[in-house]
Amino acid sequence: MAYGFRVISDLPTIENTQPVESYRATSPRFYRDKDQTLLHYGSDVWYLSAECRAVSKNGSITSVKLPFTDHLEISYQSLQKDGTVIVSRQSDDAVLMTFPIWIFVLNESLLLHFDFHSIPSGLTLSVSYDSVVSCELNDKMTKLCLSVDNGPLGTCEFICYPRADGQVKYSLFLPFSDMPTRQALELAYAGISECIAQEYRSKRADDEDDNEDVRVTSGSEMRMLPEEVMLDDSGQADDETNDILIDAGSPEGNSAMDVELDGGHVAGIKRGRGNTTLDHKYRRLT
C-alpha cells in the first residue's frame, strides 16, 4: 500500500491529460491503458477544510502544521493575513483551516493543488487511491468527505466542496466549467469512487495471480483457474475440496461503487485501515 500524500511538482495539462469521456469515445479499446493520464473531473474553484495542529509559544499560536505530511508548517500570522484562507481557531492546539484548491480526479491518483498566497509557489499533493479509507457525500449532498490512511501519521480526514462563486480558468478544466455545484460534486464523487474500485479490482486480480498454483495436502499438485472447479487426479470432482473452494470465483469485490446521479442512490466507500475489503454505504439523492 502507498501511504497517504506525496508532494509533487508538476500539474497535468491539456498536452498530457485527456478528459475520460472524450478518451472513451475515441479510444474505447484502449481505455484500460495505464500509460494514458485521464481526467474524470477537475476544477480550480474548490475548497478543502481540515483540522491542523497549532504550534504555540508563550501561549500564542506561532505556526500551523498541515496534517498531510510531517514537514508542512506555515506561519499562523501569515495565514491570518492571507485573504484566500479561512482560519477558525478550535482550541489551543488545533485550528480549522479552509483552503482554496484545484482538484484533479485522475485515473492514477487524486491531486489537490493548494492555491493560496501563503505558499507563493503553490503546493500539490498526490493521494493514492489505495490509501483512501472512506469516500462519502455528507447528508446534505453538499460536501465530499474523505479519510486517508497516512501511515505513521495516522488517518487524515478532510472535506472538499465546490465554491458557489468563481470562474474556471485552467484550460484543462473547461469541459467542466458550466456545471452547477451539485453536479460538479457528484461527478467528482463518482470519478473517485470508480478509481478506488478499479484500484481494488486490480489489486485483487494481482493477488489471484499470485495464488494461481495450489498444492494439496495429499501431495498431488493441481492448477486452479478463476471460476473453474478443481479436479482430483482421477478427473472426478472432489466434493469436500470443492465445498471449500466453491467461492473461489465469486465476484465479492467486483465494483465497490453504485452511483445513480439522476435522483438515484449514491454509495459511499469505506475500507478499514490495512484492509482490502470495500464496504458499500447507500444514500438517497433528493
Query: Are 105 and 238 part of one and the same domain?
Result: no
* The three three-digit cell numbers of residue 32, written as one number: 484500460
**51, exposed or middle or buried, with CB in 10 Å at 0-12, 13-18, 19+?**
middle
Radius of gyration of the chain (CA): 23
Q: Is residue 125 part of a domain?
A: yes
For residue 101, count other CB atoms closer than 10 A to its CB: 23
Q: Is residue 201 part of a domain?
A: no
* DSSP-derived 3-state class of residue 66: coil
Query: Are 97 and 14 part of one and the same domain?
Result: yes
Q: Is residue 184 part of a domain?
A: no
* The three three-digit cell numbers of residue 125, written as one number: 499533493
Query: Are 231 and 163 part of one and the same domain?
Result: no
For residue 233, the enclosing domain spans: 211-245
The pLDDT score that the predictor gives to residue 256 is 40
Q: List Cα–Cα distances, 280 to 58, 96, 101, 155, 182, in angstroms.
A: 48, 29, 28, 20, 22
Q: Cβ distance 84 to 117 under 8 Å?
A: yes
Query: Are 118 and 223 part of one and the same domain?
Result: no
Cell 473453474 -> residue:
228
Q: Is residue 96 part of a domain?
A: yes
Q: Is residue 215 part of a domain?
A: yes
Q: Mind listing the pLDDT tens digit for each residue in 58-92? A: 888 899 999 998 788 889 888 888 888 998 877 88
Query: Are 220 and 167 part of one and the same domain?
Result: no
The pLDDT score that the predictor gives to residue 200 is 80
Query: Are 216 and 173 part of one and the same domain?
Result: no
Alpha carbon distance 129, 115 (integer Å): 22
Q: Cβ distance 11 to 111 under 8 Å?
A: yes
Alpha carbon distance 132, 38 (integer Å): 19
Cell 461527478 -> residue:
187
The pLDDT score that the predictor gives to residue 8 is 93
The pLDDT score that the predictor gives to residue 232 is 44
Q: Is residue 285 part of a domain?
A: no
**49, exposed or middle or buried, with CB in 10 Å at 0-12, 13-18, 19+?**
middle
Query: Are 126 and 21 part of one and the same domain?
Result: yes
Query: Are 93 and 150 part of one and the same domain?
Result: yes
Query: Are 162 and 216 part of one and the same domain?
Result: no
Q: Is residue 202 part of a domain?
A: no
Domain count for the chain: 2
Q: Mind listing the pLDDT tens digit for each residue in 128-163? A: 999 999 999 998 899 999 999 998 889 999 999 999
Query: Are 165 and 113 part of one and the same domain?
Result: yes
The pLDDT score that the predictor gives to residue 60 is 87
CA 179, 180, 183, 189 dihedral sign is positive
The pLDDT score that the predictor gives to residue 205 is 66
Query: Are 237 and 115 part of one and the same domain?
Result: no
Q: Is residue 196 part of a domain?
A: no
Query: Are 90 and 229 part of one and the same domain?
Result: no
The pLDDT score that the predictor gives to residue 12 is 95
pTM listed for this prediction:
0.72
State which residues of the chain have pLDDT below 70. Answer: 1-3, 28-35, 205-286
Q: Cβ distance 131 to 4 under 8 Å?
A: yes
